[in-house]
Amino acid sequence: MGRASARLFLIHHPTGIPVAEYFLADIHLSAERPGITAAFRATLAALAHDAAAVYILGDLFDYYLGDDLTTPLQQDTAAALTALPCPVYYQHGNRDFLLGDAYARAAQMTLLPERHRLVLGGKTVLLEHGDLLCTDDHGYQRLRRILRSRRLQRLYYRLPARWRLAIAEKLRGQSRERTRHKTPRITDTNPAAIRDALHGQQADILIHGHTHRPAVHPLPGGKTVYVLGDWHPHGQILRHDHGTFTLLDSAGLLPP
């Protein structure tokens, strides 16, 4: 598994002190887009200098067939993640929700629940991929409930590999097609769902991805929503350092 890529990351903590938490989402790694893979690897190497923790909020991969059918790219990515000198946390996205315990172990990532709360700089922070917040997209929410059913997933794992690939490609195609025909409002997060999530978890800050619409939204009551962007080849990521959150372009972390 990707020894060359692991070697690339042996430049650990030259400054010594890990100080920052980093939040990434929607990298959508796939063999068809090597530029994104290169940008992601370079970003991991840059984060290694001062990261106390890295949080990947879903859709690390553009598709994921199961822990028993990982691609060479996915195996190399696991090796690259293990080379990070800090804990790595991961939440499922709508594209890679089949990523399981075996992969998490190989990548030394901790799997987080679909909604996860932590305290940073005295603020309560809620993390989630973001698809649950798109409550106006009734078709997607229905499909999501079906695809996350344990019973259906058991049937899926019994199918031959080429059928599983065909199913994944069909779902990807349908998702692209449906998104094209929906209005931007339908595929965006619902303001009431955001308020409910923040209120329900007593959180000050919500960090999510999924919509590919990077932004900082200040809300009443001093609450803030940070939306992470997707990668092409770099992406918007969020950095936290001693109570200060900054949404920045991952390219900005690289040495000139």
Site string for Mn ion, 133-172 (x = CB under 5 A): ----------------------------------------
Identify residues 109-138 at the interface with Mn ion (CB under 5 A): none
Of the pair 49, 95, the CB lying nearest Mn ion is at: 95
* Contact of 29 with 230, CB cutoff 8 Å: no
Site string for Mn ion, 61-100 (x = CB under 5 A): --------------------------------xx------
Q: Of the two residues 12 and 144, which places its CB atom closer to Mn ion in the complex? A: 144
CB of 26 to Mn ion, least distance (A): 6
Instruction: Find all residues with CB under 8 Å of 44, minimum gap 6, and list them.
Output: 9, 54, 80, 81, 83, 84
Interface pick for Mn ion out of 21, 50, 59, 62 (rule CB under 5 A): 59
Amino acid identity, position 81: L
Shortest Å, Cβ 235 to Mn ion: 13
Told to check if 210 binds Mn ion by CB under 5 A, we report yes
- 215 bridge partner residues: 227
Q: Is 229 in the site for Mn ion (CB under 5 A)?
A: no
CB count, 10 Å around CB of 234? 20
Helices (H), the chain: 3-7, 34-47, 72-82, 101-107, 138-147, 150-157, 161-181, 184-187, 191-200
* φ, ψ (nearest 5 deg) of residue 208: -150, 170
CB of 230 to Mn ion, least distance (A): 8
**Residue 204 beta carbon to Mn ion: minimum distance, rounded to whole angstroms:** 24
* Three-class SS state of 144: helix
74 or 94: CB nearest Mn ion:
94
The tokens for 5 are: 């890529």
To Mn ion, the closest distance from the beta carbon of 201 in angstroms equals 20
Name the DSSP letter for residue 29: B
Q: Tell me how far, at minimum, the Cβ of 158 lies from Mn ion, in Å.
A: 26
Nearer CB in complex with Mn ion: 75/175: 175
Whichever of 9 and 97 has its CB closer to Mn ion, that residue is 97
Q: Which is nearer to Mn ion, 68 or 169 (CB)?
A: 169
3-state secondary structure 175-230: HHHHHHHCCHHHHCCCHHHHHHHHHHCCCCEEEECCCCCCEEEEEHHHEEEEECCC
Q: Provide the binding-site residues for Mn ion, judged by CB under 5 A.
A: 59, 93-94, 210
